[in-house]
Structure 1
Amino acid sequence: MMLGSVLNPINSTIISVALVPIGAALGAPVSQTAWLVSALYLATSLGQPVVGRLIDLFGPRRLFLISTSLVGVAGVVGTLAPNLGVLIVARVLLGFGTCAGYPAAMALLRSEARRTGHDSPGGVLTALAVANQTIAVVGPLLGGLLIAVGGWRATFALNVPLAVVAVLLGLWRLPRSAPRTAEPGSAAVARLDLPGMALFAATLTSLLLFLMNLHLRDGYLLLIAVAAGTAFALRELRAADPFIDLRVLGGNTPLIATYGRALVAYVVSYAFLYGFSQWTEEGYGLSPFHAGLAQIPMFLMAIGVSIVSGRRKGVRGKLLLGAVGQIVACLLILTLTGKSPFWTLPLVALVFGIPQGLNNLALQNSVYFQADPDRIASSAGLLRTFAYLGSMVASSATAASFGRHADTAGMHHLAWVMLGAGALYLLLTVFDRTLGRATAADARTAK
């Protein structure tokens, strides 16, 4: 399950150092290669809660195997892609293919807690967070190595062996017996809220397309999102078994607050991941390999912070420290120029490692304890959806800040956007009085 859950972050991060070589090889500017980022997050934002709901109904095994097989197909398509359009298709396939890993892992954790009677997932949740942190931060370095050895196509080819191993491990180790929440096939199919899923897809797709390229001429997309969202809300409030139970979600203020924090946290995180990487290559002059190498301190700090804080109860302190870390790192970026000493680049990455290690772990733990146990997979999928909404805002802000060239002025403009998101994250944490209840006992009491 750890391998399945990291397929998405590895494809999210490895592309960060491949954007410039892909653009150079295919003659595409930054504003066009940004679609390689947006396409994956658009597909994943749609797929995570949908696949999560299917996992709630059918169990994790079959959904994991089907989705992960699609990752291998996407790897082949991307490796052989003749142009940017086909590459974007490959990234869409990767987005849908990586949807099952994380929701399936959360569903299995909850199932094991029921089977054993011990709801103490701290160590396992920490292991998941550390695995994702490791891949998320080592991804740029791995991407640089692959590009140095086999060119940018190697970053897509990597998915083929990863998918094969994940599928084989899934066949061998995933339990065949469905969790207690799963139902017989016919009953589960009857419970699928297909109209709700379709309206959710229409709402999210139009909203994300608007966020990808913020402009008044695309205002109609926002109107479509509002109309579809209204229809979705009316449908879910009236449905006997809704895709997303808005009645329960609406009464779960702590979970809603967690989703809001995830959105703004990932605006900062992904703006740094993609914007800083592109600037170190184009604005500072590093090779893809050295651009990835400059982020190694963030990898080390994030892992260390996750391990140290992983088994400690409570999330409020982690979120507050993570918020402050984001703000400090953004302020440091504003001091960088194309002539800054090289050591300042890993210093910024080192500071960013603190919120990277704290925020993801705290948000993940919050959802585990705040969500309805019978909808844990779909709730975990929604966490990723809100995170990817943040990533889409980050991608749009990065494209708008840089234009055709990732220069220092554009990096500073992006840093101000990140700083605003970081300040909002801090405010959402400071004024949230429900954070102290993000424990297993409180979650059971609320239920």
Structure 2
Amino acid sequence: MIRRRAERRRTTRAAPSPTEFDRRLIAPMLIGSVLNPINSSMIAVALVPIGVAFGAPPAETAWLVSALYLATAVGQPVVGRLVDMFGPRTLYLIGTGLVGVAGLLGALAPSLGALIGARVLLGFGTSAAYPAAMQLIRRENERTGEDSPAGVLTALAVANQTVAVIGPALGGLLIGVGGWRAVFTVNVPLSAACLVLGALWLPRARPGSADRARGVDLPGMALFTALLVALMLFLMAPRYDRWYLPVLAALAAAGFTARELRVREPFVDLRVLGGNVPLLVTYLRQLLAYTTAYAFLYGFTQWLEQGRGLSPGTAGLVLLPLSASALAVSALTGRREAPRGKLLVGSAVQVAVCAGLLLAGAGTPLWVLPAASAVMGVPQGLIGLATQNALYRQAEPARIASAAGLLRTFSYLGALGASAATAAFFPHRADTPGLHELALFMLAGSALLLAITLPDRSLSTLTPQERPEP
């Protein structure tokens, strides 16, 4: 009798409303999706103390940023494709479990090389949650018959944007309490929360997983990995003596293209993707926007500590207004998709902030610095929402997780570009001339983003609510 009652309670608890989004999915989706941005942003204020601890210059500690994004740039679309094929639960649990392991390894790392290895593992571990979340949103909208995911997509974007900019302040607090190793230990409780919530609420795999396993395009994934790794290693340190890396990237790209056009179930369906020009442009916008965003996060933060002489904790507090403005903008604009308007305003504000950095110097009044951060939060709150909503409408539904993974890949390519630019413009220390050179680099990318968005009227016809009447 007791067992039957317990089973009835479990059955009742497991049955979501047929017309409403299953709210039990929101917590594991949100916590899992913020694992990458919180680790990306906390490291910004830890680079200087880590460099001091291991006697490493900024050009070497930049690998702590590059390693995570290189691993995640590869991992996101690969894991996203596996999520499309097998469902989100297993990949989510494996990935978030790896995050906890990586956190422990980072906290105990005896050398910079070991710490970089922990960041690589962390990158792979954080690759599952966002593609899984996008597929869960698609599944729920199909189950309920409601084609209005703006609210959940907004929550996802707000969580990521907010955590990304709270991260420096949190990192500064943790460093002040327990040293730089504390920024790695935070992954342990986050990983545990993801494992518990994911095991409780994520749906189990659909029948037929064994059959789908035979369709995994392992050669395509391997060629894609080789292409990205060779290209990124060259871009992070472009020199004449590394000529073989772009050659390897070109060969891998040729092999990847030939493979994907021939195989029945490709890892990336180049036929569909090549014909989907709006989605390709969305990926380009993501690359440009996040190159500027992360160059500001890493470069401006390091300049605050070395060029302006602030402590890591104070530098994190200077960036805190970025979080508040990003959250406010996202909350105010999230219910209406309007990707074109958001992209135009966001890119224009990026241009203005980058131009303002050209006037920054050691004598800049302290109050100006958090004001600049607050203004930079406006594009943080707009552009991420716009590209995420655009992708949801433009991507093929059956490949939404892998498409979302590729969107994140272009974010990480932007982060890698920003990291490489920061290392190039700050070869020895983050001084004011280097900040000005970095600002010019950011200004060029922001201006290009504005230029490719301004004439694109197709963005105004993406959503059913905004399509013109026939």
What TM-score, normalized by structure 1, do the two folds share?
Answer: 0.97
2:328 aligns with 304
Q: Which residue of 1 aligns with 2:108?
A: 80
In the alignment, is residue 36 of structure 1 matched against residue 64 of structure 2? yes
Structure 2 partner of 1:108 = 136
Give 1:224 deviation, angstroms.
1.1
Whether the 8 Å contact between 1:39 and 1:92 is mirrored in structure 2 is yes
Q: Which residue of 2 aligns with 1:252?
A: 276
Q: Is the 8 A contact 1:369 1:440 kept in 2?
A: no
Tell whether the 8 Å contact from 1:366 to 1:438 is kept in structure 2 after alignment.
Answer: yes
Contact persistence 1:31–1:399 (CA under 8 A): yes
Corresponding residue for residue 416 of structure 1: 440
Q: CA deviation at 1:70?
A: 0.2
Deviations 1:379-406 (A, max 9, x none): 0000001111111111111000000100
Alignment of 1:158-237 (within 5 A): 158-176=186-204, 178=206, 184-237=208-261
Partner of 1:60: 88
Q: Distance in 2 between matches of 1:184 and 1:442?
A: 38
Matched letter for residue 144 of structure 1:
G
- Partner of residue 347, structure 2: 323
- Taking the aligned partners of 1:363 and 1:216, their CA distance within structure 2 comes to 36
Q: 1:297, 1:270 → 2: CA distance?
A: 16
Paired residue for 1:430? 454
1:313 counterpart residue number: 337
- In the aligned structure 2, how far is the partner of 1:16 from the partner of 1:207? 24
* Cα deviation, residue 441, structure 1: 7.7
Partner AA of 2:284 in structure 1: G
| CA apart distance, 1:176 | 2.2
Distance in structure 1 (CA, Å) of the matches to 2:254 and 2:181: 42
* Unmatched 5+ stretches in structure 2: 1-28
Summarize deviations over 1:221-270 as a string: whole Å, max 9, x none: 11111111111111111111100000000111110000000011111000
1:144 to 169, 172, 179: 172
Match of residue 53 from structure 2:
25
In structure 2, give the amino acid aligned to 1:67. Answer: G
TM-score, length-normalised on structure 2? Answer: 0.92
Q: Which 5+ residue runs of structure 1 have no aligned equivalent?
A: none
1:379 aligns with 2:403: yes
Which piece of structure 1 moves more, 194-203 or 307-316? Answer: 307-316
Residue deviations 1:71-101 (CA, integer Å, cap 9, x gap): 0000110000000000000000000000011
Q: Give the counterpart letter for 1:34 in structure 2.
A: A
Confirm whether residue 95 of structure 1 aligns to residue 123 of structure 2. yes
For the 8 Å contact 2:220–2:266, the answer to whether it is kept is yes
Identity %: 59
- Counterpart of 1:116, as a letter, is T
Give the Cα–Cα distance (whole angstroms) in 2 for the partners of residues 82 and 203 of structure 1: 31
Structure 1 equivalent of residue 153 of structure 2: 125
Matched, 1:267 2:295: no
Is 1:8 paired with 2:32?
no
Correspondence for 2:185 among 144, 147, 157: 157
Shift of 1:440: 5.1
Residue 370, structure 1, aligned to residue 370, structure 2: no
- By how many angstroms is 1:359 displaced? 0.4
AA at the equivalent of 1:324: A
C-alpha distance after superposition, 1:36-89 (max 9, x if no partner): 000000000000000000000000001000010000000110000000000000
Q: Distance in 1 between matches of 2:350 and 2:163?
A: 20
Q: 2:356 aligns with which of 304, 311, 332?
A: 332
Structure-2 separation of matches of 1:275 and 1:338:
15
Deviation by residue 1:146-204 (Cα, 9 ceiling, x = unmatched): 000000000001111110111111111112253xxxx5122111110111101100000
Q: Secondary structure at the match of 1:18?
A: helix
1:415 maps to a residue whose letter is: A
Q: In the alignment, is residue 399 of structure 1 matched against residue 423 of structure 2?
A: yes
Provide the C-alpha distance between the structure 2 equivalents of 1:114 and 1:234, rounded to a whole number of angstroms: 34
Task: Tell whether the 8 Å contact from 1:325 to 1:355 is kept in structure 2 after alignment.
Answer: yes
> Is the Cα–Cα contact under 8 Å of residues 460 and 466 in structure 2 kept in the other structure?
no
State the Cα deviation string for residues 113-162 of structure 1 (Å, max 9, x = none): 11111111111001001101110000000000000000000000111111
Q: Alpha carbon RMSD of aligned pairs, Å?
A: 1.2
Q: Which has the larger radius of gyration?
A: 2
Deviations 1:272-299 (A, max 9, x none): 0000000000110111110000011111
Residue 442 of structure 1: CA displacement? 9.1
* Rounded Cα–Cα distance in structure 2 between residues aligned with 1:407 and 1:40: 25
The 3 A distance-change label for structure 1 pair 406 and 337 is: same
Task: Give the partner amino acid of 1:327.
Answer: V
